[in-house]
């Protein structure tokens, strides 16, 4: 039987190539996802190892508000701790460390590493074994007037040792210092800290980064032979409250792990797409096996007649699937690695080089690839294999026999049950109180089951729907059109199974499009209705805007109000939460807010908060009441509720005065500024004045309100486009599915096509016939997919809280575009099968068995 | 000479068809020259492998010759492109095959007028109705082939061949798959088409009884024409064939 299996594969190379291709694509995605994520992990693991090399114990502040490990606050460790630790027995050396992101030097031509480039302030501690800083040229900076740069700055920008340059810090504003040296991170040449380093001496680094008389962490080098665990215990004993000591190894792992926050989701997103691609592939494979077995009924009957058991026939079919799965997986692993390299190159183009070379192929990746690639293929073949094993020996003798399938009644019941399960899961996900993870998992499961249900039920209505969709064909394209229509509906099960891949692909594309369009509209509505300011300034440097810039802007006559905004993680009224602070007394100038009681300008700026009517009710608070607030660094205060405002504003449920954050908060840079113009001043007049006041700061990006809204929408568009591109792979597979089915149909209908050609169908007409059949199938899949996608999209828009997505938008133009695209895809898919049909030798075709 | 030319529906001149080469060379047709007149019912007979089907296929433009030439009316087929051949088949040639004559997705009527709808021309309704009545299928015309008996399917096939009023109809073992009663029906019907409707039919068969319905039998053996019987009866044809076998 194995020989039979192998022969069956080799004698149908083209068909197996196509089937293999769909699995290859899926496996490629899986492998690329893992390999790229692993490459990122390696990069950051290496970085982490480099940074923590030589450090036996690390001392850091405990941030009890950092629940998700995401605030990145890096609370200060007092400099006095460093002196104490140095005195300790068993400590060889210790150094304070500052790594303050977003400190930008501005070169001789006014350029600066902006945007997403890393430009980090570090302190030259003088302890080389711990800070790993090496002076390459000039000298180390000393005092408040000197700094040094890493080689990347000299390579990419115009800097010269001995000259004076401006430096912009997101925390503390602008400085001008002398560039005194070139300093590299890494004792070896190949250390992996990317971006640009701006080096100062200890005190200057503290000043620039806003860590007054403190460090972000302290690295300790033990005496030779001292046990790190013991050292940790000894150090911990002398540390003040809120400061902890951990081993260097632990620090390395923590640091490495902190990058999982974005690597993990990145990998998950890619894997989700991989799963979608494989899921779609399963339908294609299943359909292909069904058709092929349908064509081989006689041959299989003959095998049975010759004594093969049903089990052997089944084994032969599953064996075919197994071989296809293994071949495709092997190829997919290779292509996946290539794909990961490509994606890595794209990422590097956007965010700078990764120091790690290559993309690693881990055992875990291989296990997943084989499990999914081989698993899905074999899974898809099980039902056809079972059907094949039930073919009776008499099938060898009969003129016409179709392979068995469950009664349509059982099928309907099964499909309906699945649909109910899927809808229940999706509704459960949308309305449930579980976290984002649980919601998405349930939604994903629900969607997959609904797709399965649709695939099972689709044959029931494929006939009439295709008839309807293809109704214009006979009018438009005469007899070839009429026959195309008949062919598309003659086997509803096959048409449905072929179209379902396109249905899934387009359903997802439509879903994403509907949600994105609604999100865009909601963002637009929110900004339009909530923001009254004429300009906004965003933190283009990535890590905030220096608050000092606001003072500069306030000197301008063109401006009426300059409102600073910034988030901080705090414990407010007993609950750890992100709160936004703003310049409350000016708030009504830049934000549309409906204060129903009190005034945002009342009370002590450094002790005031405003809350929404809803929160007021929920927390039983009124104007004049006091609410406790606690900060990560230990600050505590009671804030007075000075205003209550109607719901649905820019700030959500509550916001406080930024003066409170200035006094107690850990963030030193502002998030954004909102500006409003003075009476009678136009945007055109104000713009140059504001730009002049901002100077050439790489940190502050000025935009009009409209530009800001456009930028948000552009961002959503980019995400939408990327999702569409990834889902495009599902569509690609759908095309392959149509090609596959049509090719097999053409082979099946060889005699019919021969007859048509004999009685006068031209080659052109035969191509037209196949082409429009493909279009009819594609259109059926597309219409079904778009309807499903819209339903899913509506459900999600409904389920998401209104202050995130409040408006449902149906992107009709895009949906029409999808339909047109489906028609074109059908035509593309028909190309090869149509060629095959038109090239048939009429005589041989007529004589075909 | 000109008058006789136009009186010919199809002819072959020095037609040879050779498959393979060297030791494996097979001469399916060996320098065959034959003509079929208009308004007559001709039969081509011969044992298996005699080349009778090849001759028909070449005459009908379904296959090409190795050397020599074939004509439908005055049109030499060798000079025609694939597309022109298709258009010629559509307008000037009718076909009846042994089996699988009808497109399963089309009704009997749609099958019958298929060559014309493919050409985008309107069928002559009066003519179509007349044929439908003659083949006695009026009440079955809206059925699909799967709902018709084998005999009925062949009658639709013959009706289709007649519907476009072609210059010539080729029938390849049209009764080969039918029981004798249904076969007789088809043969009578073809006979009538020639006698009453003035059609031209060339039929390939190996059945002497079928051949007896024709006006003239051309007998092939080993790719050559070896005999010709005018006004054949089943017995005369049988005897000739038997003689060939000896």
DSSP result, B139-169: GGTTS-GGGS-HHHHHHHHHHHHHHT--SEE
What pLDDT does B3 receive? 42
Residues of A in contact with B120 (CB under 8 A): 478
Q: Name every residue in B having a CB less than 8 A away from some CB of A.
A: 57, 62-63, 82-83, 86-87, 89-91, 95, 97, 100-106, 110, 114-115, 117-120, 160
Residues of B in contact with A752 (CB under 8 A): 100, 103-104
- Using CA atoms, how far apart are residues A492 and A466, in angstroms rounded to an integer? 9
User: Which residue among B82, B97, B118 sits closest to A846, beta carbon to beta carbon?
Assistant: B97
- Using CA atoms, how far apart are residues A559 and A689, in angstroms rounded to an integer? 9
Tokens representing A387 are: 């059907």
Beta carbons of A756 and B103 less than 8 Å apart: yes
Instruction: Tell me B214's DSSP state.
Output: S
The alpha carbon torsion through A612, A614, A620, A621 (nearest 10 deg) reads: 10
Residues of B in contact with A482 (CB under 8 A): 106, 110, 117
Question: Beta-strand (E) ranges in A515-635?
Answer: 535-539, 559-572, 575-582, 595-598, 608-612, 626-631
Residues of A in contact with B95 (CB under 8 A): 758-759
Confidence of residue B91 (pLDDT cuts 50, 70, 90): confident
Residues of B in contact with A751 (CB under 8 A): 100
What pLDDT does A620 receive? 92
pLDDT tops 60 at residue B246: no
**In Å, how far are A33, A340, A366, B213 from A274, measured between CA atoms?**
8, 13, 14, 69
What pLDDT does A2 receive? 61
Q: How far is B87 from chain A (nearest CA, A)?
A: 6
What pLDDT does B104 receive? 86
Q: How far is A7 from chain B (nearest CA, A)?
A: 28
What pLDDT does A267 receive? 83
Instruction: Tell me B79's DSSP state.
Output: G
Confidence of residue B74 (pLDDT cuts 50, 70, 90): confident
User: Which residue among A751, A755, A757 sits closest to B86, beta carbon to beta carbon?
Assistant: A757
Q: Do B169 and B94 contact (CB within 8 A), yes or no?
A: yes
Burial of A348 (0-12, 13-18, 19+ CB in 10 A): exposed
The answer to the question of residue B7 being in a domain is no
| Average pLDDT value for residue range B137-148 | 89
What pLDDT does A768 receive? 93
Beta carbons of B89 and A760 less than 8 Å apart: yes
The answer to the question of residue B218 being in a domain is yes
Beta carbons of A756 and B114 less than 8 Å apart: yes
| Phi/psi at A123 (5° precision) | -105, 140
Neighbouring residues of A276: CB distance < 8 A, sequence distance ≥ 6: A504, A508, A727, A730
- Using CA atoms, how far apart are residues B64 and B51, in angstroms rounded to an integer? 14
Residues of A in contact with B83 (CB under 8 A): 762-764
- Using CA atoms, how far apart are residues A375 and A578, in angstroms rounded to an integer? 45
Q: Which of A495, A478, A491, A476 is nearest to B110 (CA)?
A: A478
Regarding beta strands A99-101 and A119-124, do their DSSP bridges make them parallel or antiparallel, or are they unpaired? Answer: antiparallel
A243-247 β-sheet, strand order = A91-97, A217-222, A57-61, A243-247
User: Which residue among B101, B105, B119 sits closest to A755, beta carbon to beta carbon?
Assistant: B101
DSSP result, A141-152: --STTEEEE-HH
User: Which residue among A751, A759, A763 sits closest to B100, beta carbon to beta carbon?
Assistant: A751
- Using CA atoms, how far apart are residues A705 and A523, in angstroms rounded to an integer? 12
- Using CA atoms, how far apart are residues A595 and A232, in angstroms rounded to an integer? 53
- Going A662 to A665 to A670 to A671, the CA torsion angle's sign is negative
Task: Look at chain B and count its residues.
Answer: 246
The answer to the question of residue B220 being in a domain is yes
The answer to the question of residue B78 being in a domain is yes
Beta carbons of B118 and A752 less than 8 Å apart: no
| Phi/psi at A582 (5° precision) | -150, 170
Instruction: Tell me A542's DSSP state.
Output: S
Minimum Cα–Cα distance from A486: chain B residue: B105
A402 touches chain B (CB under 8 A): no
Q: Do A671 and A539 contact (CB within 8 A), yes or no?
A: yes
What pLDDT does A326 receive? 92
Q: How far is A385 from chain B (nearest CA, A)?
A: 29
> How many H helices and E strands in chain B?
10, 10
Largest CA distance in chain B: 56
Minimum Cα–Cα distance from A766: chain B residue: B118
What pLDDT does B1 receive? 38
pLDDT digits (tens, 9 = 90+) for A263-282: 888 888 888 888 888 888 88
Q: Would you tell me how many other CB atoms lie within 10 Å of the CB of residue A242?
A: 15
Confidence of residue B5 (pLDDT cuts 50, 70, 90): very low
Q: Do A389 and A314 contact (CB within 8 A), yes or no?
A: yes
| Phi/psi at A238 (5° precision) | -105, 0
pLDDT digits (tens, 9 = 90+) for A98-107: 888 778 888 8
pLDDT tops 80 at residue B186: yes
Q: Which domain range does residue B199 map to?
A: 38-64+73-245
Higher pLDDT, A3 or B46: B46
Q: Tell me the CB-side half-sphere exposure of residue A328, using CA atoms within 13 A.
A: 32
The answer to the question of residue B9 being in a domain is no
Residues of B in contact with A755 (CB under 8 A): 97, 100-103
| Enclosing H/E stretch for A835 | helix A812-838
Using 50 as the pLDDT threshold, list the residues of chain A that sit under it: 401, 403-404
A571 touches chain B (CB under 8 A): no
Instruction: Tell me B88's DSSP state.
Output: H
What pLDDT does A161 receive? 94
Q: Do A5 and A319 contact (CB within 8 A), yes or no?
A: yes
Q: What is the CATH number of the domain that holds B179?
A: 3.40.50.300
Confidence of residue B4 (pLDDT cuts 50, 70, 90): very low
Task: Look at chain A and count its residues.
Answer: 849
Helices A13-52, A310-351: crossing angle, 10 deg rounding: 40
Tokens representing A11 are: 């004698």
Helices A472-490, A436-469: crossing angle, 10 deg rounding: 120
User: Which residue among B62, B95, B118 sits closest to A761, beta carbon to beta carbon?
Assistant: B118
A contact residues 475-534, partner B, Cβ 8 Å cutoff: 478-480, 482-483, 486-487, 490
- Using CA atoms, how far apart are residues A694 and A556, in angstroms rounded to an integer? 11
The answer to the question of residue B14 being in a domain is no
Q: Which of A748, A731, A721 is nearest to A826 (CA)?
A: A731
Q: Do A600 and A592 contact (CB within 8 A), yes or no?
A: no
Beta carbons of B100 and A846 less than 8 Å apart: yes
Instruction: Tell me A237's DSSP state.
Output: H
Beta carbons of B105 and A765 less than 8 Å apart: no
B224, β-bridge pairs: B221
- Using CA atoms, how far apart are residues A154 and A159, in angstroms rounded to an integer? 6
ipTM over 0.90: no
Three-class DSSP category at A168: strand
Confidence of residue B71 (pLDDT cuts 50, 70, 90): very high
Q: Which of A776, A700, A801, A774 is nearest to A169 (CA)?
A: A700
Beta carbons of B103 and A758 less than 8 Å apart: no
The answer to the question of residue B139 being in a domain is yes
Confidence of residue B218 (pLDDT cuts 50, 70, 90): very high
The answer to the question of residue B49 being in a domain is yes
Regarding beta strands A164-169 and A173-185, do their DSSP bridges make them parallel or antiparallel, or are they unpaired? Answer: antiparallel
């Amino acid at each position: 039987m194995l020989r039979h299996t192998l022969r069956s594969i080799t004698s149908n190379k083209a068909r197996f190539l196509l089937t293999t291709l769909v699995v290859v694509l899926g496996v490629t995605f899986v492998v690329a996802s893992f390999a790229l994520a692993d490459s990122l992990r390696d990069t950051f693991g290496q970085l982490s190892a480099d940074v923590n090399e030589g450090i036996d114990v690390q001392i850091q502040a405990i941030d009890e508000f950092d629940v998700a490990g995401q605030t990145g606050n890096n609370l200060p460790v007092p400099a006095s701790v460093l002196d104490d630790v140095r005195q300790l027995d068993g400590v060889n050396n210790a150094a304070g460390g500052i790594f303050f992101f977003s400190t930008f030097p501005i070169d001789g031509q006014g350029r600066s590493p902006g945007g997403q480039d890393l430009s980090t302030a570090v302190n030259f501690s003088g302890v080389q074994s711990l800070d790993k800083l090496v002076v390459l040229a000039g000298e180390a900076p000393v005092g408040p007037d000197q700094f040094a740069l890493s080689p990347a700055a000299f390579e990419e920008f115009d800097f010269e040792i001995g000259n004076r340059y401006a430096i912009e810090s997101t925390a503390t504003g602008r400085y001008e210092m002398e560039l005194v040296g070139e300093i590299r991170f890494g004792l070896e040449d190949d250390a992996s800290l990317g971006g640009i380093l701006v080096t100062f001496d200890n005190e200057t680094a503290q000043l620039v980064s806003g860590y007054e008389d403190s460090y972000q962490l302290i690295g300790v080098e033990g005496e030779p032979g001292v046990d790190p665990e013991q050292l940790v215990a000894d150090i911990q004993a002398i540390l003040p409250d809120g400061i902890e000591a951990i081993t260097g190894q632990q620090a390395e792992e923590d640091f490495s792990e902190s990058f999982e926050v974005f690597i993990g989701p990145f990998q998950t997103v890619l894997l989700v797409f991989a799963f979608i691609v494989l899921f779609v592939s399963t339908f294609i494979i299943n359909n292909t096996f069904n058709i092929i077995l349908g064509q081989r009924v006689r041959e299989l009957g003959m095998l049975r007649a010759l004594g093969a058991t049903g089990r052997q026939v089944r084994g032969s079919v599953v064996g075919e699937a197994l071989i296809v799965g293994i071949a495709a997986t092997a190829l997919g692993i290779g292509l996946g690695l290539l794909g990961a390299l490509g994606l890595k190159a794209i990422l590097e183009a956007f965010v700078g080089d990764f120091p790690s070379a290559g993309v690693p192929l881990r055992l875990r990746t291989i296990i997943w690839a084989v499990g999914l690639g081989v698993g899905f293929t074999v899974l898809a073949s099980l039902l056809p294999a079972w059907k094949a094993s039930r073919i009776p020996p008499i099938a060898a003798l009969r003129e016409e026999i179709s392979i068995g399938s469950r009664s349509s009644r059982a099928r309907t019941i099964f499909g309906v049950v699945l649909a109910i399960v899927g809808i229940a899961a999706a509704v459960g996900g949308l309305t449930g109180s579980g976290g984002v993870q649980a919601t998405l998992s349930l939604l994903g499961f629900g969607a997959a089951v609904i797709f399965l249900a649709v695939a099972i039920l689709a044959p029931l209505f494929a006939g009439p729907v295709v008839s309807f969709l293809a109704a214009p064909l006979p009018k438009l394209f005469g007899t070839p059109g009429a026959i195309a229509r008949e062919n598309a509906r003659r086997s509803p099960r096959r048409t449905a199974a072929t179209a379902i891949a396109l249905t899934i692909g387009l359903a997802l594309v439509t879903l994403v499009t509907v949600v994105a369009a609604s999100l865009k509209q909601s963002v637009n509505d929110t900004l339009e209705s909530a923001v009254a300011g004429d300009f906004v300034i965003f933190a283009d440097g990535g890590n905030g805007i220096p608050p000092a810039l606001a003072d500069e802007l306030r000197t301008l006559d063109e401006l009426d109000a300059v409102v600073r905004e910034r988030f901080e993680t705090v414990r407010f009224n007993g609950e750890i939460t992100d709160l936004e602070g703003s310049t409350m007394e000016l708030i009504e100038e830049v934000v549309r807010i409906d204060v129903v009681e009190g005034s945002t300008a009342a009370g002590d700026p450094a002790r005031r908060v405003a809350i929404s009517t809803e929160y007021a009710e929920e927390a039983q608070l009124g104007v004049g009441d006091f609410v406790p607030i606690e900060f990560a660094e230990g600050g505590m205060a009671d804030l007075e509720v000075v205003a209550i405002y109607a719901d649905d504003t820019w700030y959500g449920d509550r916001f406080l005065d930024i003066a409170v954050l200035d006094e107690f908060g850990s963030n030193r840079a502002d998030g954004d500024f909102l500006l409003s113009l003075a009476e009678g001043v136009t945007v055109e007049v104000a713009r140059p004045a504001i730009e002049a006041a901002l100077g050439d700061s790489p940190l502050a990006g000025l935009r009009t309100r409209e530009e800001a809204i456009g930028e948000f929408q552009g961002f959503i568009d980019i995400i939408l486009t990327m999702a569409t591109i990834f889902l495009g792979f599902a569509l690609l597979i759908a095309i392959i599915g149509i090609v596959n089915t049509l090719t097999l149909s053409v082979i099946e209908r060889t005699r019919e096509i021969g007859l048509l050609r004999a009685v006068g169908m031209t080659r052109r007409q035969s191509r037209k016939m196949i082409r429009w059949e493909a279009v009819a199938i594609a259109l059926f899949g597309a219409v079904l997919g778009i309807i499903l996608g819209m339903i899913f999209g509506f459900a999600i828009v409904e389920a998401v809280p209104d202050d995130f997505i409040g408006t449902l938008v149906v992107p009709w133009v895009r949906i029409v575009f999808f339909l047109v695209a489906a028609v074109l895809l059908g035509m593309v898919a028909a190309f090869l099968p149509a060629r095959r049909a038109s090239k048939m030798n009429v005589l041989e075709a007529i004589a075909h068995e | 000479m000109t008058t006789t030319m136009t009186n010919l529906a199809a002819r072959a001149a020095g037609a040879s068809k050779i498959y393979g080469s060297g030791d494996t060379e097979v001469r399916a047709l060996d320098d065959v020259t034959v003509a079929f007149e208009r308004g007559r019912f001709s039969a081509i007979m011969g044992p298996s492998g005699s080349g009778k089907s090849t001759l028909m296929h070449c005459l009908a433009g379904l296959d090409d010759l190795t050397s020599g030439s074939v004509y439908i009316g005055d049109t030499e087929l060798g000079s025609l492109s694939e597309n022109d051949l298709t258009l010629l088949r559509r307008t000037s040639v009718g076909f009846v095959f042994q089996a699988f004559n009808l497109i399963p997705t089309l009704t009997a009527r749609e099958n019958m007028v298929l060559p014309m709808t493919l050409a985008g021309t309107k069928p002559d309704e009066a003519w179509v109705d007349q044929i439908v009545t003659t083949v006695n299928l009026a009440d079955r015309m809206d059925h699909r082939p799967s709902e018709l008996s084998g005999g009925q399917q062949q009658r639709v096939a013959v009706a289709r061949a007649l519907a476009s009023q072609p210059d010539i109809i080729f029938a390849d073992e049209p009764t080969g798959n039918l029981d004798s009663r249904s076969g007789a029906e088809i043969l009578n019907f073809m006979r009538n088409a020639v006698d009453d409707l003035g059609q031209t039919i060339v039929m390939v068969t190996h059945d002497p009884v079928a051949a007896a319905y024709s006006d003239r039998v051309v007998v092939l053996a080993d790719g050559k024409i070896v005999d010709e019987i005018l006004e054949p009866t089943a017995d005369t044809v049988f005897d000739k064939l038997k003689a060939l076998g000896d």
